[in-house]
Structure 1
Amino acid sequence: MSFHHRMMLQRYGLGCTTSLYSEVLFDPIFTPIFTAVLGTGGFAIGASTITYASLASAIATTAISIGLQALLAQAPKPPKPEDGRAPLNQAIPFRIYAVGRTRVAGARMMWEAKGSNLYSVQAIAGHRIKSFNRFYLNDDEVTVVDNVVTPLTTGGRYGAGSANVRLYTRLGANPETPYAELVSALGADGIWTNDHRGDGQASLAMRAHNADAQDQQTAFPYGAPSPSVEIDGAYCWDFRDPAQSPTDPSTWTWTRNSAVILAWHLCFNEFGFGLDYQKALLPVIDLWKEEADICDEDVPLAGGGTEKRYQCNGWDTTENGPKSGLNAILATCDGHLVARGDGARILTVGKFRESRTATLTDADIVGHNIQYGVLFEDECNRLVPKFTYPATNYTSCDTDFFEDTDAQIAAGRVLTMEGSYEWCHQWRQARRLGKRDWLRQRQEVKGSLDVRLSGINAVYARWVRLETPKRLPKLDGKLVENRRSIVALTKGGFTMDFIEHPDGIDDWNPATEEGQQPPVPPAPNASEIPTPVINLIQAKANGGSVYIRVAIIDPEDGSLTPVVRYRVADADGLGTPGAWVEQPNPSAEPSGGYIDLSTGNVPTDKVLDIQAAFIASNRRYSNWSVTETVTSTSDPTPPAALTSFALTGSAPRLGHAAFAFSTGNDSHVRSVEMYRVPSGSAFDPDTATLVGTRAVGPSASYSFTDGDDTRTNLFANGGFDTDTVWSKGAGWTIASGKATHAAGSANSLLQTVTLTPAGTVFRYQFDVLDLTAGNVFTRFNGGTVVNGVARTANGTYRGSMTSLAGNVSAGFNESSTFAGSVDNVILYPETPSCAPQGVWDYYAVPLNGSDVEGPYSGPVTVTIV
């Protein structure tokens, strides 16, 4: 009996009792835990058994940014961003992990003086990282060229007289490369040898050489230099990219996507939760892809351009445990994480969708505790979003706050609450997250519901509609948000803490809600020149070329010349950035508190790193600004849909499928990509199989073939149109366009064909007709006989067989009881270029010159033999 059938019978049985019971849709997302709770003590998934005790914890939990502060005040938190300025000094320091782009000093592994040199090594992260971007000595940002700190922006610090500082880095390869200069100086004493490689450990080494006595105070005004770095942290498995494998970290990419980083932390981070991705992610991978795509959505900015909706950047130590990082990541995306009964995790980021909404009825609720107002001690009339600001060298910073002045007057004072988004580095993102928490905090309807087992779908959903005209008439038809749910069998099944879902929580008007960029206190470098603060960056297409617009905050000093520089973030396809290209803007004038700068034409359709600096009249440079990233899209207009897309040729299609398509009168179309997915599956270009790309132009027709169109049927008279060619054993007859066998004996129906060389894979297809008893199967005869799968019912069958030495003929054999017919038989040798056997849906996607996708055409369904 199937699982679904058993569940249906159970539902009908419960419906006949006196217990209240609502009908439940037994969907594949939620039923595993539902069946467990109805059992007697636990349930098994594969070889593992899950007991009730393992369920007696939070099933669904939201980000602890503000909404759960009072309930979970002791929740672990990552280190403050300011802690990344100085290395940890401990005998056995805690390990560090970092995601996105952040500043960190790590933990000191070695600190040794020898002669006039000071040597140090710091463990930056306990895993492989992408890159070291910027370097700091104490609070001075320094420029490093060929491992040497140059005096370009230091005004003599770290380079006066005979003093110099060298910095060396390792990204955390396994095995890693020793620091040769340190080994040469300290190896003989056994302090630092070639065995001190730090496999899998990203690290930073320093050698500081003393200055002469008269220059020492100039070179090292703060004493021994303390290094810290801005890094691009962990590589993560982006499950949307079919070229990446969860078992091969070398295929992973660096990312700031909150959903992708959360998946890494749950399953792949050595210092995370250590979940099995096959249980935690794969059963619900489509849901994770949806959330990752939402995180990557472009949100418009008030001054032009866009930024990604949810990005995550930060670091933590193992002192705090994995929950600390989990809370910080969820806070960056207003996340809601569900722990399903079979081990799967379901993430829902902050964007309302009906697809993530469930329903609770009167029959599903056995108890409630509703609060229709806000207690004085819980009242908040001002919310201050806090984030980490790279422009102030990675310190905690406030954005413009949200407040209710009428409520402040009524309360007689300002009641402030902070929204903590420490792993958020974009001030606009912090404002968007703050708005969501502010609107929730202002909601007066809150409480908890005791939910029966029949309401389990709602326990897992982020949003719940209440159909409660009898139990909760005031909330009938209302939408509430599930903030936290736990298993509570003594209360009927589950307890759900909820809050009424605020209207307009997803609305965002940049012009009125973005607020002002947080001020950056003047922080001149050693050359007494302030560092520029970038307000926004925008790629501007101009007749097929692209330039970059950069808006910086006016320093109110007309003697400074602003300069912009850019580089290709990945110049060689291996992650190595290109050379910087500088573009001075001496004629740029302030307007409205900002200075608009621009580059010349930049490489098109590339990911670019952008920085800005000021040049003083003495030609000294300020520090370069925080690195921003932009894609130089030359054509943002998507192409029009194809005017036609159809299958050509006729069945049977041996190892290939041929198509014809036409483009419309559209100047933007430049290419068409062809994709293949299993028939009936949803189409997603990020996960579908790309089978080819065709360069195209407007108003033209094209053909495309997927697979090997040279294959032919080895069987002659495969339709049994005549009684020829085939060697018939006893019981076989050929008539009426088919070969028929009468029960009584088992004999072969064969034809001599070429089955060499041995080891060749042959594909076959045939129809079984009129079967009333027994079975029939394909066969290779001669030498070592090869038999195919026995078929016991009417239908069309496809498969493959591998020939062995001595095989000289092919056809069919059967059980002695087989009574039926075969027809339309096909056999051909498979080649590596053959399209896979089966039933497939094909799609065609037009693209412009910047690879912006237009509307897709399809599906066109094809059966490939």
Structure 2
Amino acid sequence: MVAMISALLPGLTGSITVGGVALTTAAGGLTVAGTLANLGGSLLLSSAANALAAPSVSQQQTRWTLSDLSSLLTKRFVYGETRAVGSRIVRCAEGKNSNNLYLCYLLNSRASEGEFELLLDKRRVTLTGNPYDFTGPGGAASNYPFVNYTQVWFGLGDQSGPPDEILDDMKSGASDPILATDAAQGCTVVWIKLHAGPPGERVKRWKSMPPFVEVEGKFSKVWDPRDVSQDADDPATWQWSENHALCVLDALRTNPTRPYQTRNLLIDQWKVAADASEEIVSLKSGGSEKRYSLGGTLAFDGAEIEDAIAPLMTAGAADFVRSAGRLGIRPAVWVAPVHELVDVLEYATVQTLQPGENLSTQVNVNYTSKARQYEEAALAPWNIPGAQAADGGAASVVEYGLHWAGSAQQAMRVRKILGLRARRQKTFAGVAPPSFAECEAGDNITVNLPSPFVSRNGTYEIRSTHPAIDALGEGGVAMRCPVSLIEHSSDIYDWDPATDEEDIDDPVYDGTDDDMDPPGAIAVTSGAGVDLDNGGALIPRFRFAFAPSVSAAVTGYEWQWRLDGEPWQAGGVIGAEIIDDDDDVIVYLPASSVSVGHDFRVRAVGRTDISDWIDLTGAFYDMSLSGVAAVAGLGFATFTGTAPANSVFTGVRIYRSAGNDFDTATMVEGLNAIDPGAAFTVHAGDETTVNMLVDGDLDDPLAWTIGSEWTMTGGIAEKAVAETSPGYSDRSVMQVIPFTYGATHRYAITTVSRVSSGVAVFMGGGSTIDGVLKSRGDTFGGVGTAFGVFDAPTAPASTEVGFLGWTQHVGEVDSVAIFEQTADHLAQGEAYFWVVPITTTGAEGQPNGPHQLTII
């Protein structure tokens, strides 16, 4: 036959290629029917037509089907980076601990790349440790509510058996033991060890039993024919990829239904498609992504393999090509025309307008949204530009399920391609000359016919070719190529993200348990109107109120309480009908302490579920004092403020500490009775104490005997020059005042400037100063207030009291005080004070303070 062809077509020798197959090697490529020898041909199989004929099942539906415990275990391949559901293959509820549950779930019927994240009943599990090590403890859950109750091991396909820890647990007491042979070798699995936990928390932790298991991560490794280091027959050399063309190629080659042999595939076309899938496309957000990727689970449920794979093809708007018995692919990218048709041997049909009912004006698309936890989402309906105006009438809507598309943006690009392809109306069918034999279905060509056929000119896509040889030459030409064409344009593939990409309103995922909504925020009140009057004695208590949960399944509310830092204590259950006039749920709690904060928490409870806890911390019984001010006096302190309008309030005590820590404070003033809500003034120490000096503020020079070295004006005593005379009287400022001989006295002296030397407070008699018997305090050589104590002289030569400047002193004094110390005075010095409210039962409320004072 080849010899015949060569004789008939001397210009096309045995090296001719038709439909991608060399004639000399095309097994079965030549058949004789009558006088024509068919040389094979090529046919474009539309992914859009396949998608409409066999609508795609959503990935969400696939996951639910595979998780059905009543269904048979289905073989599945998981591609790309996605979320896969687990199908339970091992369950054992006993072992060393009957409260443990041991589970194994099939994720992928082949090896996977990893790494993985686990979700139980739609809740993400955070793991610490190494969940891929079957010889160790695996990954331990570290987040609520799974922490301390969940261990996880991921098998990527290279596992040789179950985790060692699970096998060890099975050595005793297991009624249905897990065996070392339960390996699921070559498959991707997840082993989970669950502990039931406290009975009161089980319904919260385990929403279903066994739980609904999902795993996110990178799954199947696939062969890339572009990489010479990868062997098509050795999966160990393959790499993970979400490349659209490579994943579809893998599904064709490795499926368990009817795998394609590599020799039956047009590998060069798959390489070109893989390159096209990896082209970078800009996004409206400013980022970019690869043109065509996919992710999802392909379940082999008995359907024809081409039907099963059709949704994968549609996700990239790619078309299959059958050529000379082999299968290729045409990616959805524009390729410049490869041939010009300038003449035809025979015209068959030409059609410029399709019936209106065959054309769509609007495209609806569903896709899998990663942002929505891999659930089905819909793009906005897309009106094909100009279509409705051209067709009139009601909108004609076509729907595509792009559940395998790698992103919403990819689904938008595919939507445009499928929609514009569906609007193509101009078709051409005829017999092309022998030069057309090198073209294949899916190629773009230019038709450039002479007059009077110029109306048929334009750019077309080849839908089919059928090269044939007229063995007898009856048609006048030895080779003829019947073709079918459809108009085509690069506009179909143009994409401007700024104008073509629609905004996606994806909600922010809230990982908290939303099966039962928690109650509203907690409000707390106490004091008047809340305390319990049981017939004379008032019992202080709190009133906690919160808005009800919006979940219809709520039957009541569980609440707990504790004092700060202590373990939680059960409070009880509040009926859902216990509400106040504001429709808030309420509960009362007696105050265990009026000085320690109370923590309160509540959650909604249903028959089969509970909500998250809602907490309120640091609730103090309302014993707060308002407007408290503190002033230091001479051996005493004064505190003013307003008492709480609280029926159990009875008065205040005063506490003092050397440091800013109430725990170290001691009481310096006992109970002072105060009416609830009344203004108060309370003293600690002897508030009757006064300065024994007349005019301690130095405002009246006549009240003093002023030495020659001093002057006194405007409330300031100034010694401007160093001493020039030996007499102490020249450098002293004093008064003659009776005092108790030998008694301990306190003093304070305040200076506003100092140039040299210092000043000292004195009382006449006792010790010698410049030959005169006197007692004195310590010398103060600074600026500010100095205070101290000293004993008055026991046998004074006089009762002079005042202050003096030493030999070379120069400076100014602002005030001075001296008084006799008694046991009723507060300790002298800097300290911190608290005003503490007291209840009618003698309990102390929250301290008000600290107030920092310096006691003279």
Residue type of the alignment partner of 2:23: P
Does residue 118 of structure 2 align to residue 120 of structure 1? no
Per the alignment, do residues 401 and 494 of structure 1 end up closer, same or farther by CA in structure 2, a change over 3 Å counting? Answer: farther
Per the alignment, do residues 117 and 455 of structure 1 end up closer, same or farther by CA in structure 2, a change over 3 Å counting? Answer: same
What is the CA–CA distance in structure 2 between the aligned matches of 1:372 and 1:280, rounded to whole Å? 35
Aligned with 1:328 (options 303, 311, 317): 311
What is the CA–CA distance in structure 1 between the aligned matches of 2:362 and 2:19, rounded to whole Å? 43
What is the CA–CA distance in structure 1 between the aligned matches of 2:112 and 2:394, rounded to whole Å? 48
Does residue 460 of structure 2 align to residue 462 of structure 1? no
Equivalent residues in 2 for 1:622-701, closer than 5 Å: none
Does residue 243 of structure 2 align to residue 264 of structure 1? no
Residue type of the alignment partner of 2:396: L
SS of the counterpart of 2:67?
coil
Report the equivalent of 1:418.
399
Aligned with 1:292 (options 274, 280, 296): 274
- How many angstroms does 1:391 deviate by? 1.0
Residue type of the alignment partner of 1:514: E
Report the equivalent of 1:388.
368
What is the CA–CA distance in structure 2 between the aligned matches of 1:346 and 1:205, rounded to whole Å? 40
Aligned with 1:506 (options 470, 493, 503): 493
Does residue 185 of structure 2 align to residue 199 of structure 1? yes
**RMSD value over aligned CA atoms?**
4.3
What is the CA–CA distance in structure 2 between the aligned matches of 1:421 and 1:487, rounded to whole Å? 35
Aligned with 1:141 (options 112, 117, 124): 124
Report the equivalent of 1:93.
73
What is the CA–CA distance in structure 2 between the aligned matches of 1:325 and 1:504, rounded to whole Å? 30
Does residue 196 of structure 2 align to residue 210 of structure 1? yes
Per the alignment, do residues 278 and 374 of structure 1 end up closer, same or farther by CA in structure 2, a change over 3 Å counting? Answer: closer
Aligned with 1:519 (options 506, 512, 516): 506
Q: 8 Å contact 1:98–1:314 — kept in the other structure? A: yes
Equivalent residues in 2 for 1:335-350, closer than 5 Å: 335-341=318-324, 344-350=326-332
Report the equivalent of 2:424.
443
Per the alignment, do residues 296 and 329 of structure 1 end up closer, same or farther by CA in structure 2, a change over 3 Å counting? Answer: same
What is the CA–CA distance in structure 2 between the aligned matches of 1:26 and 1:83, rounded to whole Å? 43
Q: 8 Å contact 1:170–1:176 — kept in the other structure? A: no
Q: 8 Å contact 2:241–2:247 — kept in the other structure? A: yes
What is the CA–CA distance in structure 2 between the aligned matches of 1:488 and 1:230, rounded to whole Å? 52
What is the CA–CA distance in structure 2 between the aligned matches of 1:91 and 1:84, rounded to whole Å? 12
SS of the counterpart of 1:98?
strand
Aligned residues: 494
Per the alignment, do residues 506 and 408 of structure 1 end up closer, same or farther by CA in structure 2, a change over 3 Å counting? Answer: closer
Aligned with 2:145 (options 150, 157, 170): 157
Does residue 60 of structure 2 align to residue 81 of structure 1? yes
Does residue 408 of structure 2 align to residue 427 of structure 1? yes
- How many angstroms does 1:84 deviate by? 2.1
Equivalent residues in 2 for 1:32-47, closer than 5 Å: 32=23, 39-40=30-31
Aligned with 1:240 (options 211, 223, 226): 226
SS of the counterpart of 1:215?
helix
Per the alignment, do residues 495 and 139 of structure 1 end up closer, same or farther by CA in structure 2, a change over 3 Å counting? Answer: farther
Per the alignment, do residues 214 and 241 of structure 1 end up closer, same or farther by CA in structure 2, a change over 3 Å counting? Answer: same
Per the alignment, do residues 501 and 84 of structure 1 end up closer, same or farther by CA in structure 2, a change over 3 Å counting? Answer: same
Per the alignment, do residues 513 and 315 of structure 1 end up closer, same or farther by CA in structure 2, a change over 3 Å counting? Answer: same
Q: 8 Å contact 2:84–2:216 — kept in the other structure? A: yes
Per the alignment, do residues 168 and 481 of structure 1 end up closer, same or farther by CA in structure 2, a change over 3 Å counting? Answer: same
What is the CA–CA distance in structure 2 between the aligned matches of 1:132 and 1:514, rounded to whole Å? 32
Equivalent residues in 2 for 1:632-781, closer than 5 Å: none
- How many angstroms does 1:103 deviate by? 1.2
Per the alignment, do residues 223 and 413 of structure 1 end up closer, same or farther by CA in structure 2, a change over 3 Å counting? Answer: farther
SS of the counterpart of 2:194?
strand
What is the CA–CA distance in structure 1 between the aligned matches of 2:127 and 2:428, rounded to whole Å? 56
SS of the counterpart of 2:219?
strand
Aligned with 1:131 (options 114, 139, 143): 114
What is the CA–CA distance in structure 1 between the aligned matches of 2:357 and 2:393, rounded to whole Å? 13
Does residue 163 of structure 2 align to residue 179 of structure 1? yes
Residue type of the alignment partner of 1:263: L
Aligned with 2:383 (options 381, 384, 403): 403
Q: 8 Å contact 1:157–1:221 — kept in the other structure? A: no
Residue type of the alignment partner of 2:20: I
SS of the counterpart of 2:225?
coil
SS of the counterpart of 1:436?
helix
Residue type of the alignment partner of 1:261: C
- How many angstroms does 1:429 deviate by? 1.4
Residue type of the alignment partner of 2:151: R
What is the CA–CA distance in structure 2 between the aligned matches of 1:458 and 1:151, rounded to whole Å? 59
Percent of residue pairs identical = 19
Q: 8 Å contact 1:386–1:398 — kept in the other structure? A: yes
SS of the counterpart of 2:506?
coil
Residue type of the alignment partner of 2:60: P
Residue type of the alignment partner of 2:113: K
What is the CA–CA distance in structure 2 between the aligned matches of 1:494 and 1:182, rounded to whole Å? 67
Q: 8 Å contact 1:381–1:414 — kept in the other structure? A: yes
Per the alignment, do residues 317 and 377 of structure 1 end up closer, same or farther by CA in structure 2, a change over 3 Å counting? Answer: same
Q: 8 Å contact 1:463–1:481 — kept in the other structure? A: yes
Q: Which moved more, 1:79-88 or 1:412-421?
A: 79-88
Per the alignment, do residues 503 and 254 of structure 1 end up closer, same or farther by CA in structure 2, a change over 3 Å counting? Answer: closer
What is the CA–CA distance in structure 1 between the aligned matches of 2:385 and 2:232, rounded to whole Å? 51
Q: Which moved more, 1:442-451 or 1:418-427?
A: 442-451
Report the equivalent of 2:7.
9
Residue type of the alignment partner of 1:427: A
Report the equivalent of 1:351.
333
Deviations 1:684-735 (A, max 9, x none): xxxxxxxxxxxxxxxxxxxxxxxxxxxxxxxxxxxxxxxxxxxxxxxxxxxx
Residue type of the alignment partner of 1:298: I
Residue type of the alignment partner of 2:212: S
Aligned with 1:255 (options 232, 238, 241): 241
Q: 8 Å contact 1:24–1:454 — kept in the other structure? A: no
Deviations 1:333-376 (A, max 9, x none): 322332332x5443321222237x345565355633x4433433
Q: 8 Å contact 2:196–2:202 — kept in the other structure? A: yes
Per the alignment, do residues 486 and 466 of structure 1 end up closer, same or farther by CA in structure 2, a change over 3 Å counting? Answer: same
What is the CA–CA distance in structure 2 between the aligned matches of 1:270 and 1:418, rounded to whole Å? 28
What is the CA–CA distance in structure 2 between the aligned matches of 1:136 and 1:495, rounded to whole Å? 56
What is the CA–CA distance in structure 1 between the aligned matches of 2:421 and 2:298, rounded to whole Å? 28
- How many angstroms does 1:135 deviate by? 1.4
What is the CA–CA distance in structure 2 between the aligned matches of 1:222 and 1:39, rounded to whole Å? 62
| Structure whose alpha-carbon radius of gyration is higher | 2
What is the CA–CA distance in structure 1 between the aligned matches of 2:161 and 2:467, rounded to whole Å? 50
Q: Which moved more, 1:411-420 or 1:480-489?
A: 480-489
Aligned with 2:216 (options 219, 230, 240): 230
Q: 8 Å contact 2:294–2:312 — kept in the other structure? A: yes
Residue type of the alignment partner of 1:109: I
Report the equivalent of 2:261.
276
Does residue 298 of structure 2 align to residue 312 of structure 1? no
Structure 2 unaligned runs (5+)? 132-137, 518-613, 616-856
What is the CA–CA distance in structure 1 between the aligned matches of 2:351 and 2:25, rounded to whole Å? 29
Q: 8 Å contact 2:384–2:420 — kept in the other structure? A: no
Report the equivalent of 2:790.
none
What is the CA–CA distance in structure 1 between the aligned matches of 2:467 and 2:55, rounded to whole Å? 23
Q: 8 Å contact 1:440–1:499 — kept in the other structure? A: no
Q: 8 Å contact 2:121–2:207 — kept in the other structure? A: no
- How many angstroms does 1:137 deviate by? 0.9
Q: 8 Å contact 1:366–1:452 — kept in the other structure? A: no
- How many angstroms does 1:237 deviate by? 1.8
What is the CA–CA distance in structure 1 between the aligned matches of 2:21 and 2:238, rounded to whole Å? 30
